[in-house]
Amino acid sequence: MSLYNLFQLRDAMNFAHLLALGVYLIAVCSGAPADSSNDEKQAKLWLVEYNKRASEIYYRDSVAAWNWSTNITDYNQNVSVHVSLESSKFTQMAAENASKFHWEDFNDEDVKRQFNMVTDLETSALDKSKLERLNNVQAELQKIYSSGEVCNIPGHGCLQMEPGLTALMAKSRNYDELVAGWKGWRNATGKQMKDLYAEFVELRNEGAKISGRYNDTADSWISSYESDTFETDLVELLDQLQPLYNELHTYVRSKLQEVYRDHKFPATGHIPAHLLGNMWSQTWDNILDIVQPFKNKTSVDVTSTLKEQVGKQLN
């Protein structure tokens, strides 16, 4: 699993108490129930303005995060953490403002859905010091992850994840080298990340809970799929795929056994994780040269047929 999967920043949180407070204040101030169709009209105007500001602010946040990921310096970390805190402030304010509308009673499902998202605070629900801590913990984890070095692979000098270790895992067909890369990177990063990662999980779960909308971070991540049956759907899909997966796995293992003849594969039948062309055995396309059947067959190129068919549809 790559770091971006771990940090998947769609961490949903609600501000149920603020929302309740907002509705209460409007009722108190106006002294009468608001005209709901007018409320919805105003809400649509508010969304236009919100979208304009949000795209500027979140864009700046993404650029700062990009600057930091591609150029790991203390300065860039500090900028990224501070820009992210400013974004969180905006998220809080927007959620507060949005919850003054009676959006749960709106007729337009699309507008309702947008308000549901804008009032979802994600990690911004945490208080300022915890939020700052969370941002710093994330930045530290990323730093360890990206700058961890493996220096004990003969003939390779010191390798970091990018580009060295990624290329080694993809291209090397030397069993011992692959083991050294796989173990060495975990030795150089895993131990250092362990406690920080536990803290990261704790802070995120705390944020998710504050909302009242979610039990934990997993809950809030799953909510992005907007499906009540997400987990059972996935289990069903996995069950359907399992027979094919078993055959593929068996086939790939036999091909790898031909290449790594001198090495015993585990009796339990699993494929050693360092042989699949990727640090997390997550994608297998880098071992295509080993597993491709019918090597002298050209693959089917559907481009021209596709263009022809689409052309017919368009005419």
Ligand X SMILES: *[C@@H]1O[C@H](CO)[C@@H](O)[C@H](O)[C@H]1NC(C)=O
Task: For residue 152, state whether it binds ligand X (rule: CB under 6 A).
Answer: yes
Task: For residue 64, state whether it binds ligand X (rule: CB under 6 A).
Answer: yes
Which residue in the block uniquely carries the two structure tokens 């005419």?
315
Which residue in the block uniquely carries the two structure tokens 């509705």?
23
Pattern 234-273, binding to ligand X, x per CB under 6 A?
----------------------------------------
Task: For residue 296, state whether it binds ligand X (rule: CB under 6 A).
Answer: yes
Task: For residue 97, state whether it binds ligand X (rule: CB under 6 A).
Answer: yes
Residue 50 marked in a binding site: no
Residue of 27, 29, 63, 310 interacting with ligand X (CB under 6 A): 63
Residue of 37, 55, 73, 229 interacting with ligand X (CB under 6 A): 73
Task: For residue 174, state whether it binds ligand X (rule: CB under 6 A).
Answer: no
Task: For residue 69, state whether it binds ligand X (rule: CB under 6 A).
Answer: no
Give 79's contacts (C-beta < 8 A, 6+ positions apart): 64, 67, 68
- DSSP for 83-119 reads HHHHHHHHHHHHHHHHTTS-GGG-S-HHHHHHHHHHT
Task: For residue 75, state whether it binds ligand X (rule: CB under 6 A).
Answer: yes
Task: For residue 58, state whether it binds ligand X (rule: CB under 6 A).
Answer: no
Q: Which of 17-25, 64-72, 267-275, 277-285 is the region at the interface with ligand X (rule: CB under 6 A)?
A: 64-72
Task: For residue 93, state whether it binds ligand X (rule: CB under 6 A).
Answer: yes
Diameter of the chain by CA atoms? 83
Residue of 136, 146, 160, 187 interacting with ligand X (CB under 6 A): 187
Q: How far apart are CB 93 and ligand X at their closest, in Å? A: 4
Give the footprint of ligand X on residues 128-147 (CB under 6 A).
none
Q: How far apart are CB 236 and ligand X at their closest, in Å? A: 19
Bridge partner residues of 120 (DSSP): 14
Nearer to ligand X by Cβ, of 47 and 276: the residue is: 47
Rg (CA), the chain: 25
Q: How far apart are CB 143 and ligand X at their closest, in Å? A: 13
Task: For residue 22, state whether it binds ligand X (rule: CB under 6 A).
Answer: no
Q: How far apart are CB 107 and ligand X at their closest, in Å? A: 23
Size of the site for ligand X (CB under 6 A): 23
Annotated binding site for chloride: 225
Annotated binding site: 225
Q: Where do contacts with ligand X occur on this chain (CB under 6 A)?
A: 60, 63-64, 67, 71, 73, 75-76, 78-79, 82-83, 90, 93-94, 97, 152, 184, 187-188, 215, 219, 296
